[in-house]
Structure 1
Amino acid sequence: MKAMILAAGVGERMRPLTDHSPKPLLRVAGVPLIEHHLRHLARAGFHQLVVNVSYLGEQLEAYCGDGSRWGLHIDYSREQQPLETAGGIQQALPLLGDAPFVVLNGDVWIDYPLKRLRHAELQHWEAARLVMVDNPPQHPLGDFALDDTGRLRYRQEGCVGYTYAGLGLFTPRFFAEIGAGKLALRPLLDAAIGAGNLGAEYYSGDWEDVGTPERLAALDARVSAQTGA
């Protein structure tokens, strides 16, 4: 199974830290975010990886190289301008092949056991399966819920839901009906939830949306204390 790291965004909310560095190269416990992902994927048994790049992408390519120092082989999907999540994945489909693949946002921190997705077998109705986590303080109610069949639904008014972790297992057919160009993931989620072919699982472990300098600093302090970095 192949995996893809989404690393093409500008990181507007992380300025000024991203004025001269792409967000995935910002460091947690002395190690760039993207390297944490690369180590995590390699430990889980992944070998072939696609990374999409755009803003300051040459820095990412120079740092990661061909991936061999982590036991990986990295192909790059280069975007002249960031294509957002769905657009970036759609452009990278020729590199990802015909089988289901894992997608991981480059700007999250998560300790999910990636072997679980590598060995997962999607149900016949699933075009994708997303990992859900508890809601962060900045989004306390969440957007989504899971029904008894494992399908993803929208949170109902008055109930607490879950947040998408930025980690999922996708089939190429999930993106089959979109054309080339810039497109967010949310319209595809809307369509899949309506069609009943979007699965999900809940994960209760460590997760952080590294969306602002303050969140990055807090995560860095916490992980550094845990690891002695």
Structure 2
Amino acid sequence: MDTAAIPSVAMVLAAGLGKRMRPLTNGRPKPLIPVRGRAMLDHALDRLAEAGVPTAVVNSHYLGGMIERHLADRLRERPAPAILHSPEAEPLETGGGVKHALPLLGTAPVYTINADIFWLDGPVPALKRLAGHWDAERMDALLLLMATTRAVGYDGPGDFHMDPLGGLSRRRQGEVAPFVFAGLQIVKPELFAADTPDGAFSTNLIWDRAAAAGRLHGLAHDGDWFHIGTPDGLAEAEALLARDGFQPEDR
């Protein structure tokens, strides 16, 4: 794959309150909770470095000072990717967080990554697979999706249906859908600036508009993916990874 297709900037969403992870988040933000000895935020940044993404914009709110200090320590050991901070005085949710960071993101398509997820790549790293499937002529957003039947720790009804060409549609009320959003996407930043609320809003607003225009697409993840939303989910992920011999430097 042509590495020139890889976005040069990623937005790493690390500003959530992590309420469902209490009491583990009483004294630290959820992205700093370790999985197999390494913070979830570091796992995400390591994947960006491996993919050749030079710059990561990291937002923060809850215990944001801890995140900034953690990243300063990280940069002394691992200078890539370069880190730009986007602190939020109040919670802006996923869409509002990206909109707040637009001056740092530029105008070209960017990755966004939830900093509180954990995945293992298949034969080709997920970030490179997304870049290889991205088509700006047809897409406004390309989401990495996980089959709900293979999502460790996830027991919800799913998010999306996907047609044979990768087009996405929402799960209707009362339905179940075969795919859940895996926390990674490529998206056009201008979508967050055009007719969007000031303050907090969800990226769901952007996705719904893209879906209505036939420009929301998905790619099924071909590796493992762990839903770490609660302390029990973390314990399950740790047990499975230990059983499989995963080490923090494994890719």
TM-score of the aligned structures, taking structure 1 as reference length = 0.92
Residue by residue, what CA displacement relative to the aligned partner does 1:23-47 show, whole Å, maximum 9, x if unpaired? 0110111111111111111111111
Residue by residue, what CA displacement relative to the aligned partner does 1:131-175 show, whole Å, maximum 9, x if unpaired? 110114643541211123321112467664210111100111221
Residue 227 of structure 1 aligns to a residue in which SS?
coil
1:165 paired residue among 182, 193, 197: 182
Q: Which position in structure 1 is the counterpart of 2:24?
A: 17
Amino acid of the structure 1 residue aligned with 2:146: V
Task: Indicate conservation of the 8 Å contact 1:100/1:169, yes or no.
Answer: yes
Amino acid of the structure 2 residue aligned with 1:213: P
Q: Which position in structure 1 is the counterpart of 2:205?
A: 187
Q: Which position in structure 1 is the counterpart of 2:246?
A: 227
Note if 1:143 corresponds to 2:143: no
Amino acid of the structure 2 residue aligned with 1:24: P
Q: What stretches of structure 1 of length at least 5 have no aligned partner? A: none
Residue 91 of structure 2 aligns to a residue in which SS?
coil
Instruction: Note the 1:23-172 alignment, pairs <5 A.
Output: 23-65=30-72, 67=75, 69-70=77-78, 71-112=80-121, 113=125, 114-135=127-148, 136=151, 138-155=154-171, 160-172=177-189
Amino acid of the structure 2 residue aligned with 1:206: D
Cα distance in 2 for partners of 1:228, 1:91 equals 35
Q: Which moved more, 1:43-52 or 1:67-76?
A: 67-76
Cα distance in 2 for partners of 1:15, 1:36 equals 21
Amino acid of the structure 1 residue aligned with 2:169: R
Task: Indicate conservation of the 8 Å contact 1:50/1:96, yes or no.
Answer: yes
Note if 1:218 corresponds to 2:236: yes
Q: Which moved more, 1:183-192 or 1:44-53?
A: 183-192
CA RMSD of aligned residues (A): 2.0
Residue 168 of structure 1 aligns to a residue in which SS?
strand
How far apart are residue 118 of structure 1 and its match? 4.1
Task: Indicate conservation of the 8 Å contact 2:12/2:58, yes or no.
Answer: yes
Q: What stretches of structure 2 of length at least 5 have no aligned partner? A: 1-7
Amino acid of the structure 2 residue aligned with 1:69: E
How far apart are residue 123 of structure 1 and its match? 4.0
Question: Kindly, what percent of the aligned residue pairs are identical?
Answer: 38
Task: Indicate conservation of the 8 Å contact 1:28/1:223, yes or no.
Answer: no
Task: Indicate conservation of the 8 Å contact 2:13/2:59, yes or no.
Answer: yes
Amino acid of the structure 2 residue aligned with 1:183: F
Q: Which moved more, 1:101-110 or 1:199-208?
A: 199-208
Residue 67 of structure 1 aligns to a residue in which SS?
helix
Task: Indicate conservation of the 8 Å contact 2:141/2:185, yes or no.
Answer: yes
